[in-house]
Amino acid sequence: MTEALLSGTGAFFLALFLGRPTVAWLHEKKVGKSISIDQPSTHMVKAGTPTMGGVFIWGSVAIATLATNLFELQGGALVLERRSMLLPLLTVIAMLAVGVVDDLGSLVGGARRGLSWRLKFALIAILALAVAGAMYWLLDAQSVNVPWAGQYQLGYVYLVIAFLVVFGTTTSVAITDGLDGLLAGLAAFAFGAYAVIAFAQGQEFLAVFCLSVVGALLGFLWYNAHPALVFMGDTGALPLGAALGVVALMTGHWLLLPVIGVVFVAEALSDIIQIGYFKATGGQRLFRKTPLHHHLELLGWSEPQVVMRLYLFGMAAAMVGIALALSV
């Protein structure tokens, strides 16, 4: 666990170091986020805040992974020994590319719009299919760990479940991004929980990756705390969700994702329920605005209050998830 903790600490300081010049460069290039009219009016003051801060989150994780979690020194030469870590890393790279394209289309004064939700969903689905195939045929994963009941093999059904896990987690995590510090903190709790679970299973390499993500997110929060100097954008949010889904699958504890990521589930469900209720009632709304964090703002909670209170649910959910995982 020492290596994992040191890797996470290193990623934290890397993100702190990379953050300042990155934010300054984004300012210089006028990579400012436009604010949708669908968001609460109080968010209009955020227009022009630099976005795409995810680049230094994942830059920090990539450096930490390359330095500590892919190669081992054998006979004086570096040998690629931790091949399974290529899956979450390549997943991040793929979703990072999608996020960059989408963020570039959502800038203040931009001549074009971001990716349509249909195209974005299609790209996420393609990645989810690739991850499901890699888990099943390359990593020989086809099981689920059930608290108090043990491990069960699922056969080809695993392919469908792995697809749904990656697709669902990627979209629900991305939906949660919308308030200063909200997603970064919640994702840190979730990856921290899976780091403990991975270490308890003897998957130290996976624990190192998870804590590298946690460290990078904490470094990002230095610049993203309210009032945010930078947003992560889909450049950060899409890879976060995809990587979390992959990590859950690699531990076999994907069944605990709705527990550990309870806030992500609530955010996604609020959108789904709102759309369904709107169509069923001919235009009425159940929530004042979705996702859930905007509804809470419109109830009168300040942005820091919403973030901190959802943090509390995220921390409690992480502890419950770890407890359930250790009961297998």
pLDDT tens digit at each of 328 positions of the chain: 788 889 999 999 999 999 999 999 988 887 777 766 666 666 667 777 889 999 999 999 999 988 887 766 565 555 566 778 899 999 999 999 999 999 888 776 555 566 888 999 999 999 999 999 999 999 999 999 999 999 999 999 999 999 999 999 999 999 999 899 999 999 999 999 999 999 999 999 999 999 999 999 999 999 999 999 999 999 999 999 999 999 999 999 999 999 999 999 999 999 999 999 989 888 889 989 989 999 999 999 999 999 999 999 999 999 999 999 998 7
Q: How many Cβ atoms sit within 10 Å of the Cβ of residue 270?
A: 21
Neighbouring C-alpha atoms within 13 Å toward the C-beta of 279:
5
Cα separation, 286 vs 270, whole angstroms: 9
Q: What is the pLDDT of residue 43?
A: 66
Cβ proximity of 311 and 263 under 8 Å: no
Q: What is the pLDDT of residue 38?
A: 66
Q: Comparing C-alpha atoms, which of 101, 4, 89, 88 is closest to residue 52?
A: 101
Q: Comparing C-alpha atoms, which of 152, 169, 153, 161 is closest to residue 132?
A: 161
Cα separation, 288 vs 285, whole angstroms: 7
Cα separation, 130 vs 127, whole angstroms: 5
Q: What is the pLDDT of residue 78?
A: 55
Q: What is the pLDDT of residue 67?
A: 81
Cα separation, 327 vs 120, whole angstroms: 37
Q: What is the pLDDT of residue 254?
A: 97
Q: What is the pLDDT of residue 68?
A: 80
What burial letters (b/e) apply to 57-85, b meaning 16+ CB within 10 Å?
Answer: bbbbbbbbbeebbbeeeeeeeeeeebebb
Cβ proximity of 169 and 245 under 8 Å: yes
**What's phi and psi for 78, nearest 5 deg?**
-80, 125
> Hey, what amino acid is at 60?
S
Containing structural domain, residue 302: 2-326
Q: What is the pLDDT of residue 28?
A: 85
Which structure tokens are listed for 252?
């076999």
pTM above 0.85, yes or no: yes
Total number of domains constituting the chain: 1
Pairing mode of beta strands 77-80, 71-74: antiparallel
